[in-house]
Amino acid sequence: MTTHARADAGELAEKLTARFGWLIGGSNLIRLLGYSSPAAFRQATRRHKLPVRVFAIPGRRGSFAWAPEVAEWLVDIGMPHDHPLAQEDAMTST
């Protein structure tokens, strides 16, 4: 990852963390990873095809991922700065 991309990932990680906290789960995680439905996310999970590391938390339902890892993946795939996911106001409509 280049220095510029690392800075972009850091900035996006701050936005995601401010909005969702350090852990992202549920429909927010599904949407950020670009899956069309919870079923598509579950299928990718079963096939070990998720683009970031996800994990379960004892006593909680669903899968979770670290916000900085999601941000890094989004930058790695070339998410443009003006993409709705990069805009904080777009992340507030859940």
DSSP string, 1-65: --HHHHHHHHHHHHHHHHHH-SEEEHHHHHHHTT-SSHHHHHHHHHTT--SS--B--TTS-S-EE
Domain that holds residue 58: 3-80
Mean pLDDT of the chain: 85
In a domain, 29, yes or no: yes
Residue identified by tokens 């096939």 is: 47
Strand-pair partners of 25: 64
In a domain, 30, yes or no: yes
Judged against a pLDDT cut of 90, whether residue 26 lies above it is answered with yes
In a domain, 85, yes or no: no
In a domain, 87, yes or no: no
In a domain, 25, yes or no: yes
In a domain, 89, yes or no: no
- pTM for this entry: 0.80
Each residue's pLDDT tens digit, 55-89: 999 999 999 999 999 999 998 888 765 566 666 55
Strand-pair partners of 54: none
Q: How confident is the model at residue 43 (pLDDT cuts 50, 70, 90)?
A: very high
Please tell me the total count of domains within the chain: 1
